[in-house]
Amino acid sequence: MHAVRMATRQNATTIPVPKMSCNPSVKPMRSTSRRRAQLQGLVNAIRSAPPNTVNRLVAQIRKPRGETNEVAIAVGPLNELEAEHGPVVLRRSHSYDSDDDSLDSEDEVFSLSGRNSDSRSSSEESDDSSYDPISHIGSWKPMLDVFIERFVDAFSPVVQSKTGQAGALRRAAEIRMFSPILMDAFESVSIAYFGRSVQDKNLEAAGFRLYPRVLRSLQQALQDPQRSKAESTLVTVTLLMAFESVERTTQVSLIAHVHGALRLIEHRGPENHIHGVEHLLYTELRPYWVAAAIVSRTPSALASADWINLPWSANPDRRDILHYLLDLAVEIPALLWQFDDIEATLKSNMYSAHEISMKQASLWSGVADLTNRFRQWKVQWVDNNPDGPPQEVEVSPDDPFPRFHCRDFRTGGIITPPMFVYRDLRLAQTMCLYYSTRLILSSADTRPTDRVGPLEQYSLGCGICRSLEWYIVNAPGNMINRLAFPVRVAWEVFPDGGPERQFMYEVLKLVEKRHALGLWGSNMSEISPRAGPPRSQSPEMATGA
Question: What is the average pLDDT across 421-433?
Answer: 95
Containing structural domain, residue 511: 248-544
Structural domain contains residue 146: no
Q: Does the structure show a pLDDT above 80 at 171?
A: yes
Query: 90, 110, 139: which is the final residue of a domain?
Result: 139
Asked if 409 and 287 sit in the same domain, the reply is yes
Question: What is the average pLDDT across 61-87?
Answer: 40
Distance in angstroms between the alpha carbons of the first and the last residue of the chain:
65
Contact 215, 502 (CB under 8 A): no
pLDDT per residue as tens digits for the range 221-260: 999 988 998 999 999 999 999 888 888 888 888 999 999 9
For residue 35, name the pLDDT band (cuts at 50, 70, 90): low
Structural domain contains residue 228: no
Asked if 252 and 114 sit in the same domain, the reply is no
Structural domain contains residue 91: yes
- Quick one: 498 exposed, middle or buried, by C-beta within 10 A (0-12, 13-18, 19+)? middle
For residue 520, name the pLDDT band (cuts at 50, 70, 90): very high
Structural domain contains residue 168: no
Question: What is the average pLDDT across 122-140?
Answer: 37
Structural domain contains residue 156: no
Q: What percent of the chain has pLDDT over 90?
A: 51
Question: What is the average pLDDT across 265-283?
Answer: 94
Q: Rounded to an integer, what distance in angstroms lies between the CA atom of residue 297 and that of residue 266?
A: 16
Q: Which residue has the higher pLDDT, 374 or 536?
A: 374
Q: Which of these ranges, 36-50, 443-457, 461-475, has the smallest mean pLDDT?
A: 36-50
Query: 104, 139, 174: which is the final residue of a domain?
Result: 139
Q: Does the structure show a pLDDT above 50 at 287?
A: yes
For residue 163, name the pLDDT band (cuts at 50, 70, 90): low
Q: Which residue has the higher pLDDT, 87 or 430?
A: 430
Contact 477, 166 (CB under 8 A): yes
Specify the number of domains making up the chain. 2
DSSP 135: B
Q: Does the structure show a pLDDT above 60 at 117?
A: no
pLDDT per residue as tens digits for the range 300-341: 999 999 999 999 999 888 899 999 999 999 999 999 999 999
**What value does the mean pLDDT of the chain take?**
78
pLDDT per residue as tens digits for the range 361-409: 999 999 999 999 999 999 999 999 888 899 999 999 899 999 999 999 9
Asked if 512 and 395 sit in the same domain, the reply is yes
Residue in 511, 488, 418, 32 with CA at minimum distance from that of residue 254: 488
**Run of H or E residues at 89:** strand 89-93
Look at residue 269 in the predicted model and tell me its pLDDT.
95
For residue 12, name the pLDDT band (cuts at 50, 70, 90): very low
For residue 141, name the pLDDT band (cuts at 50, 70, 90): low
For residue 42, name the pLDDT band (cuts at 50, 70, 90): low
**Could you give the C-alpha distances from 44 to 74, 142, 346, 365, 397, in angstroms and in order?**
12, 12, 66, 61, 43
Look at residue 252 in the predicted model and tell me its pLDDT.
86
Structural domain contains residue 238: no
For residue 427, name the pLDDT band (cuts at 50, 70, 90): very high
Asked if 349 and 486 sit in the same domain, the reply is yes
Asked if 281 and 400 sit in the same domain, the reply is yes
Look at residue 47 in the predicted model and tell me its pLDDT.
58
Structural domain contains residue 224: no
Structural domain contains residue 499: yes
Look at residue 46 in the predicted model and tell me its pLDDT.
61
Q: Does the structure show a pLDDT above 60 at 353?
A: yes
Query: 84, 107, 139: which is the final residue of a domain?
Result: 139
**Could you give the C-alpha distances from 476 to 156, 159, 191, 473, 507, in angstroms and in order?**
9, 8, 20, 8, 17
Asked if 385 and 530 sit in the same domain, the reply is yes
**Could you give the C-alpha distances from 371 to 105, 202, 307, 376, 517, in angstroms and in order?**
58, 51, 22, 9, 34
Cβ neighbours of residue 515 closer than 8 Å, sequence gap 6 or more: 154, 478, 480
Q: Rounded to an integer, what distance in angstroms lies between the CA atom of residue 152 and that of residue 158?
A: 9
Asked if 114 and 257 sit in the same domain, the reply is no
Q: Does the structure show a pLDDT above 90 at 265?
A: yes
Look at residue 25 in the predicted model and tell me its pLDDT.
45
Q: State phi, psi for 94 to the nearest 5 degrees.
A: -130, 150
Look at residue 167 in the predicted model and tell me its pLDDT.
84
Cβ neighbours of residue 54 closer than 8 Å, sequence gap 6 or more: 46, 146, 198
Q: Which of these ranges, 16-20, 317-321, 341-345, 517-521, has the smallest mean pLDDT?
A: 16-20
Look at residue 197 in the predicted model and tell me its pLDDT.
86
Contact 309, 273 (CB under 8 A): no
Q: What percent of the chain has pLDDT over 70?
A: 70
